Chain A
Amino acid sequence: MRKILLGTTAVVSAAFGAAVVTPAAAQEAPTVRLGGSIQAYYGYHNSTGQQNDPGTNTLSPGVQGGGANPVAAGNSIARLGKHDIVTIPAINIQVNGKLANGLTYGGVIEIGFNSMEGRQVQETRASVGRGTAAVDEAYIFLAHPRFGQVRFGDEDGPMGGLMTSGWVTGFGTGGVFGVWENFQNRQAGNRTQTAPGGIGDSSKIVYLSPQFFGFDFGASYAPNYGVMGQTGCPNNVISGYCDRAYAFRGATSVAIPAAGPEFAARRNEYQVALRYRGSFSGVGVSATAGYIGSGAALDMTDAGRQVRTLNDLNIWQIGAQASYQGLTVGAAYQRGDFNFFWGNTVRGDRSGEQLTVGAAYTAGPITVGANMYSALVAGSTGRSFSATTGLITNSPRGMQRRWGMGLGANYRLAPGLDLIAEYVFHSIRQQNVDLDSGRAGVQGRAFSNTFIVGSRLAF
């Protein structure tokens, strides 16, 4: 029993503060705490898109990688190996305080050091260094025992992870939703391993209610997809990077978040969630139903006409999970207008749907688990916007099948430290569309196998 308790506790997270009886009106000066995490993994990655046949790469290289004889655009050749070690450091600053009236307050800043995507590597010297710091989350919270909590800043929304149920990721690095993406290839037109999830922590305001008879709810609003601040918004160049741009040339092409990814056409995003948690004969249950909606920026023609080319984000999601002893099982299903990376669909696209299931079991210091997802979404190519005519070419866009599975195990050495082994498979299929542009012909299937062993430490 005790081992089971320990194990389950390890999965569902550590015990936290003392707070046995909340003392009334006991003011506490703010405490500023510095912490962080270091993750280091060896990975073996076997996938499609690991080579470019001569004449197939359409990207023009930036600065050549030491070659004295740079190849011309259209003929660059790459061969990718299968082994690598990645390191993922992060630093956190956390503030907590309490006022005499019972209001607790604080904030979190998370600074990561591995935010550079493959597309930026291609720019080499024009880009930032690999270890450049980038803020991931940064928000202030104000909480009251009676009125709930408000978070203001860059943070996930209620359906972006705060209140969701059924996504079982408490093993390995998260299985198919884990860090395996760090090993993936990201060549143009061959982005084979974009995992679902990660709707983004764009600057927003979040309200989280107290719990009433097992139920709590949350809501959030984000004006756009942007994060952090912006000093100046140009309006004399094509700039969708401006958070406040509600119409700009190229909006259609950034339906899927791009460049960072902190650039997307999503506007006026809102999320609502209702969650129930309870215990029945020793079985802990959590269930969530929620909705994510948004508008989308308009594209523009040469003549300055605004054209609506994208559908609003319109996603319903339900999920549930149950925990008993050391076992947790869960499933979540979502359906609506979204494409494979929480992006807005192009008008005329099919809607998307996705199912994820998972299970994890903990016994003592060992946790094992598995999860998978399967999604049907709009295809990746087929429609384009003409800035001359203001029309969308209506070639068949088709349907894309994406699915992946992950198996993982952890061995906990100490609080904050564990060893990890994980395997993830991911597959994408779309008929008559080339998913591996580095090879001759039309490759309608892309896949990857990733094996990971490593360790992680949080302090």
Chain B
Amino acid sequence: MIRSASALALILLATGCSSGGSRFVENEEYGTNNQRELILRQTGASSRDAGFVLFGTDRGRDAREALAASGGTGVAVNAYLWRATLETLSFMPLASADPAGGVIITDWYTPPSSQEERFKVTAYVLTRQLRSDGVRVQVFRQTMRNGQWVDSPAASSTGGEMEDRVLARARELRSQTAAAGR
């Protein structure tokens, strides 16, 4: 029960907020009457990856091959998933974030409501596409016993719920930026 409650508190803390200021507006954030673009947008594909490269470097293909070769690392990842993951985990101290590999590692974090335990999260953004299986979150937990932190299992659902938070936030970010494209 305590474990679940702590996990819930952790998830409740995992809220993101949009940053203000100036930002560049990507081409995909504008509406279009281009039939190919419309179909690609509505069917979940990307015009930057679709089609055949006649000249130059197919960066999308390079990224996919790098992903396959490295087993999930060494590739630039989806912007929305990356931003959503960062925002979702922003309540925890950040230990490292590698945008090329899509890995975010937090430092240990003790929820204010429970000083007897602490959490550490490793998140992997796996794909360049905004897909529901594009993010994986692992939660590590330690509890204080006899004045020492010892490993304890985290609720099995915690990682999944954190992933859902990330996915929901990614959807919001995408809605914000692309809503006018229809």
CB within 8 Å of B: which residues of A?
1-6, 8-22, 28-37, 39, 88, 90, 92-94, 96-97, 108, 110, 112, 136-137, 141, 143-146, 148-149, 156, 161-165, 167-171, 174, 198, 201, 208-214, 216, 275, 277-279, 282, 284-286, 288, 321, 323, 325, 328, 330, 367, 410, 412, 414-418, 456-459
Q: Which residues of B contact A418 (CB under 8 A)?
A: 39, 42-43
Q: Which residues of A contact B175 (CB under 8 A)?
A: 8, 12, 279, 284, 323
Q: Determine how close the nearest CB of chain B comes to the CB of A80; give it in whole angstroms.
A: 26
Q: Which residues of A contact B23 (CB under 8 A)?
A: 210-211
A15-B174 in contact (CB<8A): yes
Known pairs A9-B174, A19-B26, A416-B50 / 17 extra A-B pairs, C-beta < 8 Å: A10-B42, A12-B179, A14-B129, A15-B174, A16-B26, A20-B79, A20-B83, A33-B51, A36-B36, A39-B39, A137-B34, A143-B24, A162-B32, A201-B33, A211-B23, A325-B171, A458-B45
* Stretch of B1-9, B14-22, B141-149, B151-159 with 4 or more beta carbons under 8 angstroms from chain A: B14-22
B35-A37 in contact (CB<8A): yes
CB under 8 Å from chain A, chain B span 134-172: 164, 167-168, 170-172
B52-A286 in contact (CB<8A): no
A29-B22 in contact (CB<8A): no
Residue in B24, B30, B31, B39 whose beta carbon sits within 8 Å of that of A456 in the complex: B39
A141 to B174, CA, bound (A): 23
Given known pairs A163-B180, A328-B182, the reply for A31 and B132 (CB within 8 Å) is no
Q: Which residues of B contact A168 (CB under 8 A)?
A: 182
A282 to B172, CA, bound (A): 6
Q: Determine how close the nearest CB of chain A comes to the CB of B62; give it in whole angstroms.
A: 11
Q: Which residues of B contact A412 (CB under 8 A)?
A: 43-44
A210-B22 in contact (CB<8A): yes
A16-B164 in contact (CB<8A): no
A212 to B34, CA, bound (A): 27
Q: Determine how close the nearest CB of chain A comes to the CB of B169; give it in whole angstroms.
A: 9
B39-A277 in contact (CB<8A): no
A212-B52 in contact (CB<8A): no
B167-A1 in contact (CB<8A): yes
Residue in A15, A108, A209, A328 whose beta carbon sits within 8 Å of that of B78 in the complex: A15
Interface presence of B69 (CB below 8 A): no
* Stretch of B53-61, B88-96, B105-113, B114-122 with 4 or more beta carbons under 8 angstroms from chain A: B53-61
B44-A14 in contact (CB<8A): yes
Closest to B182 in A: A170
A168 to B180, CA, bound (A): 9
CB within 8 Å of A: which residues of B?
18, 20-28, 30-48, 50-59, 63, 75-83, 99, 102, 128-133, 164, 167-168, 170-182
Closest to A325 in B: B171
B39-A416 in contact (CB<8A): yes
Given known pairs A20-B77, A20-B82, A418-B43, the reply for A145 and B36 (CB within 8 Å) is no
A349 to B46, CA, bound (A): 45
B45-A14 in contact (CB<8A): yes
Q: Determine how close the nearest CB of chain A comes to the CB of B163; give it in whole angstroms.
A: 8
A258 to B51, CA, bound (A): 34
A12-B178 in contact (CB<8A): yes
Given known pairs A14-B130, A418-B42, the reply for A321 and B179 (CB within 8 Å) is yes
A32 to B130, CA, bound (A): 24
Closest to B83 in A: A20
A20-B99 in contact (CB<8A): yes
Given known pairs A9-B44, A35-B36, A216-B25, the reply for A20 and B76 (CB within 8 Å) is yes
A459-B20 in contact (CB<8A): no
B58-A31 in contact (CB<8A): yes
Q: Which residues of A contact B83 (CB under 8 A)?
A: 20
A330 to B182, CA, bound (A): 10
B79-A163 in contact (CB<8A): no
B182-A33 in contact (CB<8A): no
Closest to B39 in A: A458
Given known pairs A1-B167, A30-B55, A277-B177, the reply for A110 and B36 (CB within 8 Å) is yes
A31 to B53, CA, bound (A): 7
Q: Which residues of B contact A22 (CB under 8 A)?
A: 24
Given known pairs A143-B24, A457-B39, the reply for A17 and B180 (CB within 8 Å) is no
A2 to B38, CA, bound (A): 23
Residue of A20, A36, A323, A456 ringed by the most chain B CB atoms within 10 A: A20
* Leading 9 A-B pairs by shortest Cβ distance: A35-B51, A284-B175, A13-B41, A15-B130, A18-B76, A2-B132, A31-B56, A458-B39, A415-B45
